[in-house]
Structure 1
Amino acid sequence: MSHTALIPSHRKPRQSASKSALRAGVAGGVLSTIAVAGAAAPAQAEPVTQTIEMPTITAGLSTTVAASAEATQQVALDLETQAQEDAAATTAAKAAKKAKAEAVRKAEAKKKAEAAAKAKAEAAERASRTAERTTLSAPSGSSSSGSSSSASTASAPVSSSATGSAASVVSFVQMQVGDAYVPGGTGPNSWDCSGLVQAAFRTVGVDLPRVSQSQSTAGTQVGLGNLQPGDILYWGSAGSAYHVGIYVGGGQFVGAQNSSTGVVQRPLDYDMPTGAVRIL
């Protein structure tokens, strides 16, 4: 017996043909897979040339853009409207300035015309007063009849019923015709309406109140159809009259009317009074 006969052999036993074939098939498949993968690798490295399409803008974004455009348009419209308003305001201001200047010019022209008319009226009143005073102071034919002639001349503008104190009152106010009208005036050459009436009655010893309101209730109320020379005429209501004068007969009165006319003698229908009171 060989000395090695009992030593186990370290050689692997031979595998069967079927196992070898199986392993060869598996190995071949793996190698085939690797080969296919290797062949496919270069194709994947080719650059991408396909265009990527971006998603469509949503409806909400479209609405926002439309609202922004509308707001911009509104701002532009507001600016245009403001510009038109500013232009209109400028035009109106120029027109107003021109109208004001024209109104001032017309007012000045009217004032000058009124001043000229006033001066002409005053000149005419002075001439009239001079003529009347010349007539009243004209000398009589004889000294014996001087007094009666003077009385007759003084009473000429007055109705025949004017006698005594009434005739004196009438004579006094007629002598002041042509004097100036001045608010608060009490003579001797300028008067207001109640100042003239008060002074006329003072010549016959009657002390009247100073203002027209009180003078309109100082005597007995009489109707305008029953007037007598020397009656006080008033305009406005009794107790609150704003103007007074003296009835001188013949449908006429004397009064200090205003600063334009001064003291004048006029028919009643020139400025019809409201009522009258009788003192004498």
Structure 2
Amino acid sequence: MTEQLTWLVTGCTSGMGESLVHAILAKGDRVIATARGREKSAVERLAPLKEAGAAVMELDVTASESVIKEKAEEAWSIYGKVDILVNNAGYIDGGIFEEIDEEFLTCVLRNNAIGPLNLTRAFLPYMRSRGTGTLLFMSSVGAYFGTPGASAYIGAKGLLEGIVPNIAVEVAPFGLRTSILTPGFFNTKVFTPGNIHWRAPNPLPDYAEMNKVAQDQCNAFDGHLPGDPRKAGDIIVDAVKGTGQCEGMELPLWLPLGSDAFEFIRGNVQAKLKICDEWEDIGSATNF
């Protein structure tokens, strides 16, 4: 793809979303950068990206399906199309599984999985009618290993990992491509104290030490992670367009980002292959 494309990226006030917007603009494409309003409006929060050349709009992925559909229509009208939808928005709410409840889990799932899926569903009629489009979903390398306190957030990413491959085969006949972006640990502000919430409603003394270790580890990560988010943004744009360092390559259903992502994913796959080798004779002896 060498023509100018239009991207819509959610969650653009910082981190991977912000870096991706700059990469898109640097490579000559148009981008609609979105964020939800907080103390300031989304337009105010996205002002630096607007100055850089992006169109900006408010979009809360946790809104009702009817509001999400209205936002999709609004976004489509800005440039008359959206070629690439990037479901990036999300947040981390840490909590040991026994200490959280249904409301806690549901809120995290809505922000990190259900909302992005609703937004995708809202854009599908437009993309199908054009017979072209790319759907990107931001996952996490955490979906390939377990860590204390991350069950809700990683559960949401795991939900995307399970659903998106099915979406991919359903929309492919209409000329739509799909990819799950799976970053490792990147040096964004995600681990800056205060950005990760620790709001489990039912704290238990038995998990106090485990919580402390998890929170101390997250604090220690801040500013000391290996990945450069701008380089990841460049790779994403090139992978979608098949240009630059990705010329001649097809966009994969899973796109790992970061050397550590390949390490963790490969370790996960190798562990499963080891189980298959050890248990195949027993586990497969089930036929009539």
TM-score by length of 1: 0.22
Query: Highest CA radius of gyration, 1 or 2?
Result: 1
